[in-house]
Structure 1
Amino acid sequence: MRHGDAPTRFVEANSVRYAYRRFGAAQGVPLVFLQHFTGGLDHWDPAVTDGLGRGRPVILFDNAGVGLSGGAVPPTIEAMAGHVAAFADALGLQRFDLLGFSMGGMVAQAYAKQHSDRLRRLILVGTGPRGGDPTPYQADVAKHARGNGNLDDFLFLFFGRSEAAVAAGKAFWDRRHQRTTNLDAPIRPESIVAQVAAARDWALPKGERFADLKAIAVPTLVVNGSEDVMIPTINSFYLQQHTPGAQLILYPDAGHASHFQYPSLFVEHAGLFLDSPPPGSLA
């Protein structure tokens, strides 16, 4: 079973019905994916999900109030992480890997701070820490984010500016839309408002700036493009510098969705990280 034909499934916890898809290898440590602002199950790149799914089970997850999941989007990132915990418990995931993209990467951080004992590996893509640097392109980002979600908006927000980067963005756009049946539901307006509130709260440091990252006691890979206009690339450096033992990869001529611009390379790098021996091992 692959990205394009995996059925949407549901599991309930604490009176919330969560939508998810599970596919890839039958055995191995599951890799749970957490999506970006307003994104759902259909916004992932099948080249990435199927690529990583060759070596492990892949689980795509709609958080509360997003897509086909029930409940309401909570107004903080930490509360969203609480739903990840409830979902993982409902599926019986005792130990798993976690990949978060953009807002999903914020949620992944919040989950890891509280539940590092449940995680084996953590991948943070195109994201930033609590209290990170804001984008200097706020007006342009807001204009394109408020657009119709068309290709031009997506290229500006997620990809590099060169001819090769634009071509890679268009190729991703085609891959993303290959699935035409059993689609996820679009995000609801009230859910977008709640996600904006959560992002604004995340922009404010609590206590000493970045000190909370020391609580992430799990091997971590941070990935971004060299020219992220959504969450400035410097934030990925902050994550690597303040998360114990974290590694950092920056892809050239790439924006917010560097893993979609370089899917084969990202799958190779992420696979190496996920399959590497535990820190301190002599293997």
Structure 2
Amino acid sequence: MSDTHLTAPTRFVEVAGDQFAYRRWGNTATDKPPLFLLQHFRGGMDHWDPLMTDGLAAGREVILYNGRGVASSSGQPRTRIEHMADDAAAVVRALGLQKVDVLGFSLGGFQAQDLTRRHPDLVRKLMLLGTGPRGGNPDSDPGVLERAPRPVPTIDDFLFLFFGRSETARQAGRDFWKRRHERVDQDPPSSPQVIQAQIEANMYYLAKLDPQAPFSHLREITQPTFILNGANDVMIPTINSWHMSQHIPNAQLFIYPDAGHAAQFQYPERFMQHARQFLDE
């Protein structure tokens, strides 16, 4: 029986003396590069949606990954996005891969942009979900600062942070919450040190590289790029997705209605249809 999101074993690859956790499964009978996934603030491999990852794995390999010090990976957590991106590139190379497609969600999207800019030879296509550019609009909902760093997040925190406000959206959030807890041998939660390190990394990411042309660095990303957000992202304001679409030369933008930060988890079937088309075309 082939592996799935619920059964793929956790493996480790050593880079610079630390053990990086990853899970890898999917369709190997294809010439498409694996899809390498980078997760949100404090998230690990079990914060992905099994419906989404298994759906994508039907057409290609998928690789879930924990950064340095995150969840089951060892080492000192990184405090700069560019260093997280360099770690991801080192892991891709340590796995013997010449080229990957990259999907980054939220803080993982920050890393995905820097991975693509700093190591363009490794990335064929780029997917940016619920994220924003360096120097983007930081005006998140005030409730985010209370809920996102909570030591033990609740389902109500996830619904507020990730999903739309209608009852239909909230039910989609509850369905996601159930799916993401189905795996038996789950990753350990990320430590308080990871939370603090990633908060620091996020603060540095808010600074503009060039105040006169704050998004000019995005023109360095020449790979085909898929950008997705919900109509009302309370974490990373949706306007940031528009800015990325206007400055990444080969980008296309999707905005899902009645959705928030995690539009792909709220509309998994719609997202998989759009994602497969983008990755296969």
TM-score by length of 1: 0.95
For residue 143 of structure 1, report the CA deviation from its aligned partner: 1.3
Consecutive unaligned residues of structure 2, counting only runs of 5 or more, are none
> Residue 279 of structure 1 aligns with which residue?
none
- Alpha-carbon offset, residue 73 of structure 1: 1.6
**CA displacement at 1:26 relative to structure 2:** 1.8
Point out where structure 1 has 5 or more consecutive residues left out of the alignment: 277-283
> Among 270, 273, 280, which residue is 1:265 paired with?
270
In 1, Cα distance between equivalents of 2:44 and 2:130: 16
Aligned pair partner of 2:193 in 190, 195, 215: 190
Structure 2 residue matching 1:10: 3-state secondary structure: strand
Partner of 1:110: 114
Name the CA distance, whole Å, in 1 between partners of 2:262 and 2:278.
Answer: 19
Q: Aligned letter for 2:118?
A: Q
Q: Which residue matches 2:149?
A: 146
The aligned residue for residue 37 of structure 2 is 33
Say which is worse superposed, 186-195 or 52-61, in terms of deviation: 186-195
Partner-residue secondary structure (3-state), 1:97: strand
Partner amino acid for 1:193? Q
Task: Give SS of 1:186's match.
Answer: coil
| Whole-Å separation in 2 of the counterparts to 1:222 and 1:197 | 25
Q: Is the 8 A contact 2:140 2:236 kept in 1?
A: no
1:115 Cα deviation (Å)? 1.7
Choose from 79, 95, 98 the match for 1:94: 98
1:52 aligned onto 2:52? no
Q: CA deviation at 1:135?
A: 2.2
SS of aligned partner of 2:119:
helix
Which of 20, 23, 26 does residue 25 from structure 2 map onto? 23
Counterpart selection for 1:121 from 105, 116, 125: 125
- Are the structure 2 counterparts of residues 7 and 201 from structure 1 closer, same or farther at C-alpha, using a change threshold of 3 Å? same
CA distance in 1, matches of 2:218, 2:104: 15
The corresponding residue for 1:218 is 223
Distance (Å, rounded) in 2 between the aligned partners of 1:131 and 1:45: 29
The alignment yields a C-alpha RMSD, in angstroms, of 0.9
Match of 1:132, SS state, is coil
Choose the corresponding residue for 1:167, options 166, 171, 174.
171
Contact 2:149/2:195 (<8 A) preserved: no
- Distance in 2 (CA, whole Å) between partners of 1:114 and 1:93 is 17
Per-residue CA deviations over 1:188-221 (Å, capped at 9, x if unaligned) read: 1111111000000000011230111011121100
3-state SS in 2 of match to 1:107: helix
Check whether the contact 2:89–2:122 (CA below 8 A) recurs between aligned residues. Answer: no
Equivalent in the alignment of 1:72 = 76
With normalisation by structure 2, the TM-score equals 0.96
- Structure 1 outlier segments of 4+, above 6 Å: none
- How far 1:16 sits from its partner (Å)? 1.6
Contact 1:14–1:86 (Cα < 8 Å) also in 2: no
